[in-house]
Structure 1
Amino acid sequence: MSTNRPAAIVALARGLTSEEAAREAGVSGRTVRRWMEEQDFALEVRDARTQLLQHAVGQLAAGAVEAVTTLREALRDADGRNRVQAARVLLDATLALRESLDLEERLAALEAAQQEAH
């Protein structure tokens, strides 16, 4: 296996075109396009993309905790406008999260019912 394949895999997982991935990997665009026709290569790109997305979600979750802490601190701000704005943002986020969780629960129930039907 070429030592350049991993670089091409990561580049493609990041959303680069085959030509851009080829430049990053130091191979021809033709080589990357040939690799892309291989099922194992495509699976490796998908797995790398999944790992990148999982890392991004983790970073977002960490930032969300900090954001909520900041908003909660703003609730105690001396300026009433800052308190009201923080309260609005927290309530909006809470309602959106609640709706998302409700939809997730309903979807899970539908999927479970469908599994039982089969």
Structure 2
Amino acid sequence: MENLKMSGVFTLKIDNTVKGLSANQLDAVTLLVSGMTYAEAAGRLGVSERTVRRYMADPAFKEALAILREQVSQMASNMLIARMANAVAVLVEIMQNPPERHGALRMNAATKILDYAFKVRNQDAAEGRLKRLEEAVAALGTPEEEQSVGAVISSLKEYGYGSDM
């Protein structure tokens, strides 16, 4: 299992996916997950942008990238949800007491944390529902039933439900 550090906040783990990836490919995965473009990652690695694009054609590289993106997303979601209680406490404190010098900033930060945390919860719930629908389609026996439920799932994906669209 390979551990990758990202900006001192996250330690990401890639299991069997790293087999066959070079050190440069692992670094490219980390840079791309951190938000860099192909050109920026290539510049940081000292390779051409075309090389980074070739990495993207490698199934193991794409799998490692997908695993790390999911880990980053999950960690960020967990951090937001973990801070919901603190955000509510800040809002209650500001509501009950006259705002001090930084009250507006604290209130804004607390509100944003709650907004993002609720969006994450809603997205997780929608993904769970979509997964259950997909499992139900897989369990169906007749092609006609599969096609009609499959069309519903395709429509849901078009509207942004589900993470593996």
TM-score above 0.5, yes or no:
yes
Q: Does 1:3 align with 2:56?
A: no
Deviations 1:46-67 (A, max 9, x none): 1111111112112212332211
Query: Any gaps of 5 or more consecutive residues in structure 2?
Result: 1-20, 141-165
Do the aligned partners of residues 78 and 19 (structure 1) sit closer, same or farther apart at CA in structure 2, a change above 3 Å counting? closer
Residue 115 (structure 1) aligns with: 136
**How many percent of aligned residue pairs carry the same amino acid?**
30
Residue 38 (structure 2) aligns with: 18
Query: Any gaps of 5 or more consecutive residues in structure 1?
Result: none
Question: What is the root-mean-square deviation in Å for CA atoms of aligned residues?
Answer: 3.5
Distance 1:18 1:29 in 2: 6
Give the structure with the higher percent strand.
2
| Normalised TM-score (structure 1) | 0.62
Q: 1:40-59 maps to which residues of 2 (within 5 A)?
A: 40-59=60-79
Give the structure with the higher percent helix.
1
CA contact (8 A) 1:8 1:21 kept: yes
Larger radius of gyration: 1
Residue 48 (structure 2) aligns with: 28
| Normalised TM-score (structure 2) | 0.47
Distance 1:49 1:62 in 2: 20
Do the aligned partners of residues 76 and 34 (structure 1) sit closer, same or farther apart at CA in structure 2, a change above 3 Å counting? same
| Structure 1 residue runs of 4 or more that deviate by more than 6 Å after TM superposition | none
Do the aligned partners of residues 74 and 33 (structure 1) sit closer, same or farther apart at CA in structure 2, a change above 3 Å counting? same
